[in-house]
Amino acid sequence: MSRSKSSKKTKFVCSNCGYESPKWLGKCPNCGAWNSFVEVPVEDSKKGWLVEKSGVELKKLSEVMSIRRERIPVGIGEVDRVLGGGIVPGSLILIGGDPGIGKSTLLLQIAGKLAQSGKKILYVTAEESLEQVGDRAKRLGVESDNIYVLAESEMKTIIQQIEEVSPDILFVDSIQTVYHPDLTSAPGSVSQVRECAAEFMRLAKSRNIATFLVGHVTKDGSLAGPRTLEHMVDAVIYLEGERQMGLRILRSVKNRFGSTNEIGVFEMEENGLVEVTNPSSHFLTHSDEKRIGVAVIALLEGVRPLLVEVQALVAPSTFGVPQRNTTGFDPRRLSMILAVLEIITGYSLRNSDIFVNITGGLKITESGGDLGIAMSIVSAFRRVPLPPKTIFIGEIGLGGEIRHVKGIDRRINEAERLGLEKAYIPVTAHKLQGSKLEIVKVKNIEEAIQLCVG
């Protein structure tokens, strides 16, 4: 944070508690936080409350309810799903992700599709040159006279150009590289990122320009990450995946105009991101072979279930402290499952290294996979394969009981669609629609182990 004087009027606000100060302070006198002050411009506070009649419209809720919201479909099914059916005009959408994951690629593809449907696009590239954007467009086969590209990072020029072009959709790549000249702090700092985002928000709302902001997820904290903006924007979507693997997941974590936790699945190929329309089939190894330590589980993100494999490996530990390693799964939840297994079943896992891996680079964010994860660990520990073509559904409680989870019938239907034959589900599951799967209801983890591995 720079502390030099600025010619424009600014003040400093504690980002922790909101305490205001005319000058920068190292420690907040109000909440005691260190290094929490950010610089923001001073708004003219002399305007009285009761002076002018404002143009505010007072409406009845019933009238508000009948306002229809139009959407602009992107034309890429997986993107539209995550956005809740398309882009809402005038909305501000933040797309976050690790550097190099494919954000610029995705945005250029979205721009291409929108331009095809006659929308006017302005693509502001603040971190790459025009040549780089041009090369990418060639690679992706995106070509249109409706897309304007601006290589600029200074806010005032960007705003001028937006007013000139008057686009339907604006892309800003990235919010961490644009800067407001009125602020003295460096581009990418919390105050710059917030102030620029607020400026884009005002523009989006006042001129009805749907705006996509790219935000890099940063590890070292030198740049303000997308999290600092999540509260301001209308929708937040993240592009995730292992960089080396081709799979990319687009996940909505906030959406003022639709449901969250919808995901879209893509594969990064030579010519850009390609939709994976049948992801479950993608994540399963279709074989009848019995494998040790492998179980099929269903993730339910939003409304669409996804079948994935969980793999576990239990190996004798060579160091004093046994390793607990997870990919795509909360290690604390693993500790809980291991504790339950130890206490309830008497398995001695404390001298073993345990690895749990959700295949395909996916992340589990709900508890419906607990039973399958526990069973894959048991299978790996006992060196006994689990029954083939079987799905495990259920949360594990602290007493070892298998608990109900949402959407059991949707998970079962997806398993049936993909040719599985058997499902282990909680005993409390009710109202199952007719399914061809053999359904086994289990009360607790002991019973499941007894039935599967003896």
Residues of the shown chain interacting with Mg ion in the complex, contacts defined by CB under 5 A: 104
Q: Show the binding pattern over residues 255-284: x = contacts ligand TYD (CB under 6 A), - = does not.
A: -------------x-xxx------------
Residues 6+ apart with CB under 8 A from 424: 371, 375, 390, 391, 392, 393, 394, 440, 442, 448, 451, 452
The residue number whose beta carbon is nearest to Mg ion equals 104
CB of 94 to ligand TYD, least distance (A): 13
CB of 422 to ligand TYD, least distance (A): 39
Q: Of Mg ion, ligand TYD, none, which one sits near residue 22, judging by CB under 5 to 8 A according to partner kind?
A: none
Contact 104, 162 (CB under 8 A): no
CB of 255 to Mg ion, least distance (A): 23
Considering beta carbons, is residue 10 or 104 the nearer one to Mg ion? 104
Stretch that binds ligand TYD, among 136-144, 220-228, 352-360, 443-451 (CB under 6 A): 136-144
List C-alpha distances in Å: 389 to 27, 34, 437, 448: 60, 55, 10, 16
251 binds ligand TYD (CB under 6 A): no
Amino acid type, 174: S
Contact 110, 212 (CB under 8 A): yes
Measure the CA–CA gap between 219 and 359, rounded to whole angstroms.
24
Q: Of ligand TYD, Mg ion, none, which one sits near residue 145, judging by CB under 5 to 8 A according to partner kind?
A: none
**Site of tokens 């909440």:** 31
CB of 213 to ligand TYD, least distance (A): 13
Q: Of Mg ion, ligand TYD, none, which one sits near residue 288, judging by CB under 5 to 8 A according to partner kind?
A: none
CB of 93 to Mg ion, least distance (A): 16
Residues 6+ apart with CB under 8 A from 126: 151, 152, 153, 172, 173, 174, 177, 178
The first and second tokens of residue 109, run together, are 């593809």
Residue 425: closest CA among 397, 404, 450, 452: 404
132 binds ligand TYD (CB under 6 A): no
Considering beta carbons, is residue 105 or 390 the nearer one to ligand TYD? 105
Residue 75 falls in which region: left (phi positive, over 0), alpha (psi -120 to 50) or beta: left
Q: Of ligand TYD, Mg ion, none, which one sits near residue 191, judging by CB under 5 to 8 A according to partner kind?
A: none
CB of 29 to Mg ion, least distance (A): 40
Numbers of helices and strands, H then E, in the chain: 11, 21
Measure the CA–CA gap between 367 and 380, rounded to whole angstroms.
21
Residues 104-123 that bind ligand TYD (CB under 6 A): 104-105
CB of 123 to ligand TYD, least distance (A): 12
Name the residues that contact ligand TYD, by CB under 6 A.
Answer: 97, 99-105, 136, 139-140, 268, 270-272
